[in-house]
Chains A and B, each alone.
Chain A
Amino acid sequence: MSSAALETKETVAGLGEKYKYGFVTDIEMERAPKGLSEDTVRYISAKKGEPDWMLEWRLGAFRRWLSMKEPTWARVHYPAIDYQDAYYYAAPKNTPKKQSLDEVDPKLLETYKKLGIPLHEQMALAGVAVDAVFDSVSVATTFKEKLNEAGVIFCPISEAIRDYPDLVKKYLGTVVPVTDNFFATLNSAVFSDGTFVYVPKGVRCPMELSTYFRINASETGQFERTLIVADEGSFVSYLEGCTAPKRDENQLHAAVVELVALDNAEIKYSTVQNWYPGDENGLGGIYNFVTKRGDCRGARSKISWTQVETGSAITWKYPSCILRGDESVGEFYSIAIANNYQQADTGTKMIHLGKNTRSRIISKGISAGKAQNTYRGLVSVYGKAENARNFTQCDSLLIGGECGAHTVPYIESRNPSARIEHEATTSKIAEDQLFYCLQRGIGQEEAVALIVNGFCKEVLQQLPMEFAVEAQKLVGISLEGSVG
């Protein structure tokens, strides 16, 4: 095992608390006035020093949003959100450009340490470039040089808007249009930062790219925006990890992620989402309403989503693939865990437009406590998509008798040559499985983690090695107290 992987493991093992990321960093924040108006949008745009075209884009989105209604079709329940009762921009005060990590506020670095991603160590050991987003502003970007050599652009999206306006203009909003849905439109109006990646033709990105998002300031929605473009014949693997501190109030997180893969390009996008889920009584937690979509724009392109969703009070998320290019491939590997009062409504859409397109969906849903977990998936084959293939495997595991698992597959086929397979299972952690583990000396919590990790194995195998270890631990932590 590489020393980097060991590092991850030890850091995780060293943190015993149930929700170990529930601390608040005490740093002075600069905020936009509370509420949402055209002025808020202008404030954000001005803070970012954006060009006019960007401001106009945002304002267009905002006006559109005013006429939209919050969707209600998901199997989730929450009190109405007051969009005027939140801050839409928060940044640590005094953040002039940092030339190196030494200039970064030590308190911030301490935060990252607690999160298990010590930047110094990562730089030295892991070969992982981390673009760390602390609330709304990127404070540290590492490994730029090595990426520069390869011609890979990996930077905060606010920087990309200034430095690579043509690339951003060409691709932003082309996968998730400004008008796509209520939360995506809101994001388009007020997004404060996020990540931009461009991998040029024929380049295999020399390292895993990773961003850790973190909500810190209270009453602040986080609206990050990610855009990844893989030009012809290129490859990139990107991992995002998310954690947020414990608070009694609910916080909104409405991100948009757009992926574009051109001819023969491949994007692998992995998420480990561990936002604060609320306490055992359902108090607090993040509302995670996220729009993620990948466009396999080129022939033989491939986009693969892997997600481990253990956190958030509510998860509303459907990372999708538009299989536009002939012979393009879309994959979705998902683990969604809902414990206590968590609600998860997650799945994917595979839209087959091109000939010989293939998609594969492996979903593992785990419900415990009083949680409700819904898989919602769409496989759609358009008329011109000759020989489209889909395979869907949808497994649910129930722990205890008060939780629920729901599977809602939508299948549409307008081409008779399509072959669509759907398999679904629901099972319980059997008492005899638990007893068998106990009898061999494995304690209750470890036994549940072991059995659940076994259940999720196919998906965990998709994660980059270093993160698979952390994800396995997370699976165990998020189910603590679910049995007995």
Chain B
Amino acid sequence: MLDIKNLHVAVGGKEILKGLNLRVEAGQVHAIMGPNGSGKSTLSYVLAGRAGYDITEGSISYNGEDLVPLPPEERAAKGVFLAMQYPVEIPGVTTMMFLKSALNAQRRSRGEAEMDAIGVLKTVRKKAAALNVSEEMLKRALNVGFSGGEKKRLEILQMALFEPKLAILDETDSGLDIDALRLVAEGVNGLRSPERAMLVITHYQRLLDYIVPDRIHVLAKGRIVAEGGKELALELEAKGYEQIVKDAA
């Protein structure tokens, strides 16, 4: 589904990713772990197509298609979803209104019929209940005054709503208490499917107790320095990143 080869990315002229290789098959959940500043968010932004993240070398193929020339909104319509580390506030735009605009923009782009307000409302309500996203939250301006946990739950709600093919979760666990973490993990696990690939980015091993990955990659200084099964998370927890990075060198 996703095949990244020798990816070099520069931000503001500074190289952040330095030859990254990664393959994720449909149906799999991969975790990316790494210390702060190793380039995890950079990778997620590049996959989503954010402006200012320049690919200087390498390739990204998504379902056999070159992802690089596609603008972000087309990637979204083709099923690339990024749950952001820092979800953004948009004053005056109700959450419900935003969800409807996004859902219909994606549908239009895929040549599907738009959903009317009532259809969207019904669909959203069904999925919102499971994530403990209240009706009241949906009426508030997008992310404005939301707690950290509320913001992250809303990201997962959007993932459930858009039903992406490739979901990237950038530190969705950070800042969550244990109950919120469980809720989010349940949401994610509920979306595991043979047609869907997930890339779960995290700094801590904790999340992987709840979302058990098929494979773990350790990112340090812009490269994958170690890979393994789910047991790698425990090793990381025990030894710390520094040791793993050293071992790999």
- Could you mark each residue 74-105 of chain A with 1 if its beta carbon is under 8 Å from any beta carbon of chain B, else 0? 00000000000000000000000000000000
Which residues on the B side are within 8 Å of A455 (C-beta)?
Answer: 91-92
How many contacts between A and B, using CB within 8 angstroms? 78
| Contact status A439-B105, CB under 8 Å | no
Question: In the complex, how many angstroms separate the beta carbon of A456 from the nearest chain B beta carbon?
Answer: 7
Chain B nearest CB from A76 CB (Å) reads 28
Asked, given contacts A450-B90, A453-B93, whether A438 binds B101 with beta carbons under 8 Å apart, the answer is: no
Shortest distance from the beta carbon of A484 to any chain B beta carbon, whole Å: 9
* SS class, residues of chain A in contact with chain B: helix
Taking the nearest CB of chain A, how far is it from the CB of B152, in angstroms? 14
Please tell me if A165 contacts chain B, counting CB pairs below 8 Å. no
Question: A446, B92: Cβ atoms under 8 Å?
Answer: no
Contact between chains at B93 and A451 (CB < 8 Å): yes
User: Contact at A439–B141, with CB atoms within 8 Å?
Assistant: no
Question: Known contacts A442-B105, A446-B105; is A433 also within 8 Å of B162 by CB?
Answer: no
A460 CB to nearest B CB, Å: 9
Assess whether B102 is in contact with A454, with CB atoms less than 8 Å apart.
Answer: no
The minimal Cβ–Cβ distance linking A428 to chain B, given in whole angstroms, is 13
- Nearest Cβ in chain A — how far from B61, in angstroms? 20
B101 contacts across to A, CB distance below 8 A: 442, 446, 450
Flag the segment in B19-27, B80-88, B128-136, B236-244 that touches A: B80-88
Assess the B76–A453 pair: CB atoms within 8 A: no
B73 neighbours in A (Cβ, 8 Å) = 438-439, 441-444
Neighbouring B residues of A450 by C-beta, 8 Å: 90, 93, 97-98, 101
Q: Which residue of B lies closest to A458 (CB)?
A: B92
Contact of B9 with A by CB under 8 A: no
**Complex Cα–Cα for A455 and B101 (A):** 16
Residues of B within 8 A of A431 (CB): 51-52
Residues of chain A from 419 to 472 with CB closer than 8 A to chain B in the complex: 430-433, 435-444, 446, 450-451, 453-458
A436 contacts B141, CB within 8 Å?
A: no
Do A439 and B72 have beta carbons less than 8 Å apart? yes
Tell me the smallest distance from the CB of A303 to a CB of chain B, in Å: 26
A443: chain B residues within 8 A (beta carbon): 73, 105
Knowing A438-B76, A439-B82, A442-B102, the reply to whether A453 touches B90 (Cβ < 8 A) is no
A401–chain B nearest beta-carbon distance, Å: 15
B90, A440: Cβ atoms under 8 Å? no
A440 touches B92 (CB 8 A): no
Q: Does B77 sit within 8 A of A, measured CB to CB?
A: yes
Inter-chain CA distance A455–B98, complex, in Å, is: 14
Instruction: A458 to B90: give the CA distance in the assembly, Å.
Output: 14
Q: How large is the interface on A (under 10, 10 to 19, 20 to 34, 35 or more residues)?
A: 20 to 34
Task: Tell me, in angstroms, the Cα distance from A457 to B98 when the chains sit together.
Answer: 14
Report Cα–Cα, A175/B103, bound state, in Å: 51
**Inter-subunit contact B88/A436 (CB<8 Å):** yes
Q: Are A433 and B77 in contact (CB under 8 A)?
A: no
CB of A439 within 8 A of CB of B90, answer: no
CA distance A441 to B72 in the complex (A): 7
Expressed in whole angstroms, the Cα–Cα distance for A450 and B102 within the complex equals 11
> B169: CB under 8 A from chain A?
no
B contact residues around A437 at 8 Å (CB): 90, 102
Residues of A within 8 A of B106 (CB): 440-441
Check B109–A440 contact: CB distance below 8 A.
Answer: no
CB neighbours of B81 from chain A (8 A)? 439
Closest to A429 in B: B90
- Once bound together, how far apart are the Cα atoms of A462 and B89, in whole Å? 24
CB-defined contacts of A432 to chain B, threshold 8 Å? 86, 88
Is B228 located at the chain interface by the 8 A CB criterion? no
Contact check: which of B50, B90, B158 meets A433 at CB < 8 Å? Answer: B90
- Residues of B near A458 (CB, < 8 A) are 92
Chain A residues, CB < 8 A from B98: 440, 450
Question: How far does the Cβ of A5 sit from chain B's closest Cβ, in whole Å?
Answer: 13
Residue interface bits B209-237, CB-to-A below 8 A is 1, else 0: 00000000000000000000000000000
Whole-angstrom CA separation of A376 from B148 in the bound complex? 39
Binary per-residue interface labels of chain B (83-121) against chain A in the complex, 1 for a CB within 8 Å, 0 otherwise: 010111111110001100111011001000000000000
The 9 closest A-B pairs by CB, nearest first: A454-B92, A454-B93, A441-B76, A441-B106, A440-B102, A457-B92, A438-B72, A436-B88, A441-B105
Selected A-B contacts with CB under 8 Å, 7 pairs: A431-B52, A438-B49, A440-B76, A440-B98, A443-B73, A446-B101, A457-B93
